[in-house]
Chain A
Amino acid sequence: MKIDGLNVIYTKDYRLNASYLEVFHFYVQSLKKYHKFIRVNFQKNFKASYQQSFLRILWKIILPLVPVSVYVVLQELGLLKGNAEMPRVIYVVIGMTFWQLFSASLSSAMNAPEKEKAMLKKINIPFILFYLSALGTVIFDYLVRVVLIWALLIIFKTPFSLIWFTLPFLFIPLALLGSTLGIFISFFSVFVGDIKNIVDICLRYGLFASGVLFPLPSTGMLVQILNYNPVYIFLDNLRQLIVFSEFSSLKYFSIAFIGLLVATIVIFKKLYTLESRLREFL
């Protein structure tokens, strides 16, 4: 027997046999109860990130501007070869924005348990709150970059589309993918620190296997595999959607998104089961 909320029975495997419905109920209750905590913890992370700086929140705008300015300069110097359809700088900036969204979501979710271990070891509150508040900072950074994308779309005279207004919400697929993957990895990286380094290496290579800076090659052995890379599927479709108002492959996008939703539900259920085990080791 298990009761959540104020009444609870702790046994060695409490939560193990919970149904998906019970877990869903738990998360809804947690979000209702702790929504302020998520907000305050997000603010805490946000404030802490510029606590000892003079320019404070300005860094959140300056830092994304730096790589963009590099691409603009390279474009102006003619070093970035684009095509007639999409200016190269737009290609790269949108690609980098979504890639950073994905990699930051993954890293923040993967590192959240250890980053917050001081609190997790001393207060019994759901892990999900920390994942969500960490994701808040990632989404904020994405929104700052959205403004830059809008500016570039205008500067480079991209034909206007109403899709542009949906840009602030287009973080969902890649943020969800990064977070789900990050949470899954955190189940094991808490015990084996090497996993984080391996993930870091994968992310460095993944940048070139996801069509972020350059289109994927059309021939070669790895093409078929790379075409099934979910990061590439989401990133390429979203980029096409922003610039040309259409998906490059709606079929792949839909399959990948439905698969992602299923994976997210499964991982969140596992998180519910495992968080006590993780907390014990932190």
Chain B
Amino acid sequence: MKETLITVSNLTKKFPKNYKFGAKAGLRKTIRSFFGISTTFSKIKRNEFVALDDISFTVQRGEAVGLIGKNGAGKSTLLKHLSGIYLPDKGEIIINGHIEALIELGAGFHPYLSGRDNIKQRIAILGLGSGESKKLLKDIIEFSELGDFIDMPVKNYSSGMQARLGFASAVLTKPDILLVDEVLSVGDFEFKQKCLAKINEIKKDVAIIFVSHSFQTLRMFCDKGIVLVHGKKVFSGNIDEAIHLYQNKFESNKADGTLEVCHDINIHGKEFLNNDKINSYLFEWCDEELRPKNIFESNEDLYLKIQVSLKRLEGNSYNNLILAIPFWNKDVYVTSLSSDVIKRKINVVEGEIHLVIKIKPTFNLGEFLSCLVIHDGPEYILRKYLPPFKFESKDQRRQGMFRMNYEFFDAGELGKNV
């Protein structure tokens, strides 16, 4: 049985709504504690609100849990409790292991110190020996890819650079428990992929709690999901079910996974290739006979031929590959396809992917752009634009971007009065 690293039982926390009330309450609690008197959990007052309401759950080693909820739902407050920054007003939290928390951008960094000095300070907390500390410092600097900027004061870092520094410092210290709160939403795409790959690498040895507004990231990354609404846990279970429930019941502006693919894989985004995992690739649009083609008749099927040669890595059998293609017409996101949606496994034979995708489009006229994306678990390993393709029609009566199937009926044919 896996080791339970986090146990949260009936966690309840209330906060004051204003500073003055908070100062009075805090002072009262401090004076009580100073004289050794236990604090009592009183009823919620007019100037207070419940940030966390009777939350219970466990997380085991190797498990990744996604926290889902709107802003103010209590996700970050929960993480702060887990890292011991806040204490519960009621209930208890049992932590077994070394925690690293990426709770806020630049958390724990001194703005006037250089990145290097800040890392040293972070390493100093771990109480490692001199040799280990030096090696860790080197590894963190290397992973962060900050180059010469590592000796620049952190106050001059961009948010992306701060994310690099924070992530590298947290993950490379080999925690038992990793708390990640949206910090990966900033920074460039390539580094984000590198971080996700690193988390994927350490995932089996770590208990991870992940806060993200990106359902795609949560879905790819987490096994379990906890939905928080106004500090209450309304669901805990499979991540897909958690997202589904949240989107359908609690999210006012419903967005499905595909739309998010569009958001994540923006047409203006950069191409990406993980050279550690991919040797070569080839893809082209074809006709039925698999002959290269870029201009199609408006009712013609498209075929996409894909060949990817993957590097053989010890311990990675590429069992979790996901292939997706979003389509755009100019800047307008049109649609997408995904192997994940149709639950189609991407087969890798001797390190090679040979695949043909047949698409029966409803595109009518116009030029379309698309982008081939391959994930290995949560990590992007390839994102390349496909050659543009065009739908044309000799029939002048065909107009518009899409084709619809339609039929005409005489009134009598339907057996109804018109």
Cβ–Cβ contact B38 & A16, under 8 A: yes
Nearest CB on B from A154, distance (A): 39
Known contacts A12-B90, A33-B127; is-contact A47 B84 (Cβ 8 Å): no
With a CB–CB cut-off of 8 A, which chain A residues contact B133? Answer: 36
**Cross-chain contact B34 with A270 (CB below 8 angstroms):** yes
Q: Cβ of B97 and Cβ of A6 under 8 Å apart?
A: yes
Q: Which B residues between 13 and 41 are near A, CB-CB below 8 angstroms?
A: 22-24, 26-27, 29-30, 33-34, 36, 38-39, 41
- Interface status of A219 (Cβ within 8 A of chain B): no
Asked if A277 is at the interface of the complex by the 8 Å CB criterion, the answer is: yes
The one of B38, B88, B113, B123 in contact with A48, judged by C-beta atoms closer than 8 angstroms, is B113
Q: Are B30 and A12 in contact (CB under 8 A)?
A: no
Bound Cα distance A43, B113 (Å): 10
- Contact indicator A123/B108 (Cβ below 8 Å): yes
A59-67, A98-106, A160-168, A184-192 - interface stretch: A184-192
Q: Is A76 at the interface (CB under 8 A from chain B)? A: no
Verify if B138 is at the interface (C-beta below 8 Å from A). no
CA distance A34 to B88 in the complex (A): 26
Residue of A nearest to B8 (CB): A10
For A281, what are the chain B residues with a Cβ–Cβ distance below 8 Å? 22-23, 26
Interface flag for A70 (CB, 8 Å): no
In chain A between 211 and 238, which residues have their CB closer than 8 angstroms to a CB of chain B?
A: none
Contact residues, A123-141 vs B (CB, 8 A): 123-125
Q: Judge if A53 is at the interface, Cβ distance under 8 Å.
A: no
Per-residue A-contact encoding for B2-17, CB less than 8 Å = 1, 0 else: 0000000000000000
Bound-state CA distance A274–B90 (Å) is 17
Query: Which residues of B are found within 8 Å of A196, using beta-carbon distances?
Result: none
CA of A262 to CA of B36, assembled, Å: 18
Partner of A276, one of B87, B95, B96, B153: B87
Residues of B within 8 A of A6 (CB): 96-98, 176
Specify which of A13, A39, A118, A280 is in contact with B38 (CB 8 Å cutoff): A13
CB distance from B7 to the nearest CB of A (A): 9
Q: Does B88 lie within 8 Å of A12, measured CB to CB? A: yes
Contact B112 A47 (CB under 8 A): yes
Closest approach, in angstroms, between the C-beta of B51 and any C-beta of chain A? 11
In A25-72, the 8 Å CB interface with B consists of 32-37, 39-41, 43-44, 47-48, 51
Any A CB within 8 A of the CB of B92? yes
A34 to B122, CA, bound (A): 10
CB of A122 within 8 A of CB of B104, answer yes
A244 within 8 A of B: no
Report if A247 contacts B (CB, 8 A).
no
| Residues of A contacting B293 in the complex (Cβ-Cβ under 8 angstroms) | none
Residues of B within 8 A of A43 (CB): 117
Q: What is the distance, in angstroms, from B40's C-beta to the closest C-beta of chain A?
A: 9
B41: A residues at CB distance < 8 A:
12
Instruction: Decide: B95 and A8 in contact? CB cutoff 8 A.
Output: yes
The listed residue (B29, B91, B93, B94) touching A277 by CB distance below 8 A is: B29
The complex places the Cα of A47 from the Cα of B153 at a distance, in Å, of 12
- Whether A37 pairs with B108 at a CB distance below 8 angstroms is no
A residues in contact with B99, CB < 8 Å: 124
Chain A CB count within 10 A is highest, among B33, B83, B97, B101, for: B33
- B95 A10 Cβ-Cβ under 8 A: yes
Are A280's CB and B98's CB within 8 A? no
Task: Say yes or no: A277-B26 contact (C-beta < 8 A), given A8-B95, A14-B87, A16-B38.
Answer: yes
**B355 is an interface residue with CB less than 8 A from chain A:** no
A119 at the interface (CB under 8 A from B): yes
Known contacts A51-B112, A188-B27, A280-B87; A9 and B124 CB within 8 A of each other: no
- Where the two chains meet, the residues of B that have a C-beta atom closer than 8 Å to any C-beta of A are 22-24, 26-27, 29-30, 33-34, 36, 38-39, 41, 81, 83-99, 101, 103-104, 107-108, 110, 112-113, 117, 120-121, 123-125, 127, 133, 153, 176
- The list of the 5 closest CB pairs from A to B, nearest first, reads A36-B124, A122-B107, A124-B84, A33-B127, A37-B124
30 contacts between A and B (CB under 8 A): A6-B98, A7-B94, A8-B94, A9-B94, A10-B81, A11-B91, A12-B38, A12-B87, A12-B88, A16-B36, A16-B38, A34-B125, A36-B133, A39-B124, A40-B120, A44-B110, A47-B112, A51-B112, A51-B153, A118-B110, A123-B83, A123-B125, A125-B125, A187-B30, A188-B27, A192-B23, A273-B33, A280-B26, A280-B86, A281-B22
